[in-house]
Amino acid sequence: LRVLTKRGIKADAAEVASNPRARSATLRVGEKLAGEGDD
């Protein structure tokens, strides 16, 4: 697994204003690498 974002991506102020639950959400992105055990 290769991490594509060093830190999680947080919702901006506009998103939090329209959706208060987005305040606690964090998006983390990773890429699955080909390796042992993959078909």
Residues counted in the chain: 39
Q: Work out how many domains the chain is built from and give that number.
A: 1
Q: What pLDDT sits at residue 39?
A: 62
3-class state of residue 26 by DSSP: strand
Residue where the block lists tokens 């987005």: 22
Q: What pLDDT sits at residue 19?
A: 97
Domain with 9 in it:
2-31
Q: What pLDDT sits at residue 20?
A: 97
pLDDT along the chain (39 residues), means of 10: 94 97 96 79
Q: What pLDDT sits at residue 35?
A: 79
Q: Is residue 23 part of a domain?
A: yes
Q: What pLDDT sits at residue 36?
A: 72
Q: What pLDDT sits at residue 38?
A: 65
Q: Is residue 37 part of a domain?
A: no
Q: Is residue 38 part of a domain?
A: no
